């Protein structure tokens, strides 16, 4: 990593090999909820310029790892944010030869997260 305290979006984009427009999208407000799609991705100046410290860069790298697993792409930014901010870390084993028990465990944990997300979304739309 570069030894600067803050990096700009261009530097972070090159470092993590994520297109700038994707970083901006992840770091923008959802027009429906008026909340950030993913909290804590950047530090913004009063003029709105995004700057990234080491913690922001780590979070972006984790987000990229969740959303892009090889050729597979997970389009759910809300699920990725939930996993990032969850206190219950889900062990994700990328080994192709993982056991059926580990696979079933991961599927159950993902189903639990999805059910919680559905409940949260239902509660938000009821208000």
pLDDT digits 0-9 by tens, 45-61: 999 899 999 999 999 99
Is residue 53 a contact partner of residue 5, using CB atoms and an 8 Å limit? yes
Q: Which two tokens stand for residue 97?
A: 């030869």
> Confidence class of residue 96 from pLDDT cuts 50, 70 and 90?
very low
Taking the complete model, does pTM exceed 0.85, yes or no? no
In 1-127, which ranges are E strands?
A: 7-8, 43-44, 50-52, 68-69, 72-73
Q: Which two tokens stand for residue 11?
A: 């530097």
CATH 1.10.1660.10 is held by the domain 1-73: yes
Query: Which one, of 18, 7, 118, lies nearest residue 52 by Cα?
Result: 7
pLDDT at 17: 93
| pLDDT tens, position by position, 6-47 | 999 999 999 999 999 999 999 998 888 888 888 888 998 999
């Amino acid at each position: 990593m570069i030894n600067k305290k803050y990096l700009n979006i261009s530097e972070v984009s090159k470092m993590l090999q994520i297109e700038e427009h994707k970083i901006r999208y992840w770091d923008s407000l959802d027009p429906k909820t008026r909340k950030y799609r993913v909290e804590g991705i950047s530090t913004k100046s009063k003029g709105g310029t995004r700057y990234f410290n080491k913690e922001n860069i780590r979070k972006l790298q984790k987000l990229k790892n969740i959303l892009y697993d090889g050729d597979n792409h997970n389009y759910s930014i809300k699920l990725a944010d939930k996993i990032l901010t969850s206190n219950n870390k889900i062990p994700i084993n990328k080994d192709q030869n993982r056991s059926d028990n580990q696979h079933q465990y991961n599927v159950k944990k993902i189903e639990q997260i999805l059910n919680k997300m559905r409940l949260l979304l239902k509660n938000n739309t009821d208000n």
